[in-house]
Amino acid sequence: MLTKAIEHCEEPNPIFEKFSTIFFALSLVLMCFAEAVLIHGLWFRSRPISYRLEMFFEPFEVFLPCFTGFAMRFNISNMSKAGQIRSSAAVWLKFSLAIMMIVTYIAILRLAELTTH
């Protein structure tokens, strides 16, 4: 009973909820930029055909962190709605996940620029 009263009084911070959504959308934009740089560097440069065929699946691998992040964000939301984790902890987890995805895609973008030029 005491935990329900404490949990009921606790409200998630709406600012971090909005920031996590904005940062998640920003990571999707960064993913698109990384995909564009990688695809342009791998497919539209003059390289041997065998090299291009080996690198066919590289753009799909750039999508994997986004897919994983989206699945984790969905799982965190479901766990929060079910009461398995507190709503304030869910907001912080979503915010941290969005920041990690931004850092990941900035690193992928830099590596794609370095390796394809």
77-88 pLDDT, tens digit each: 999 999 899 988
Q: Mark out the alpha helices in 10-86 (DSSP H runs).
A: 14-43, 49-54, 58-82
The closest of 40, 20, 104 to 67, measured between CA atoms, is: 104
Q: Which of 18-22, 38-42, 80-84 has the lowest mean pLDDT?
A: 38-42
- Write down the pTM of the prediction: 0.76
**Which residues contact residue 98 at a Cβ distance below 8 angstroms, ignoring those fewer than 6 apart?**
19, 20, 21, 23, 24, 26, 27, 69
Where in the sequence is the domain holding 72, given as residue range(s)? 2-116
Query: Tens digits of per-residue pLDDT, 41-71?
Result: 777 766 665 566 666 777 778 888 889 999 9
Domain total of the chain: 1
3-state secondary structure of 102: helix
pLDDT surpasses 50 at 1 = no
Task: Read off the pLDDT of each residue in 21-27 and give the average, rounded to a whole number.
Answer: 91
Q: Which two tokens stand for residue 74?
A: 């969905």
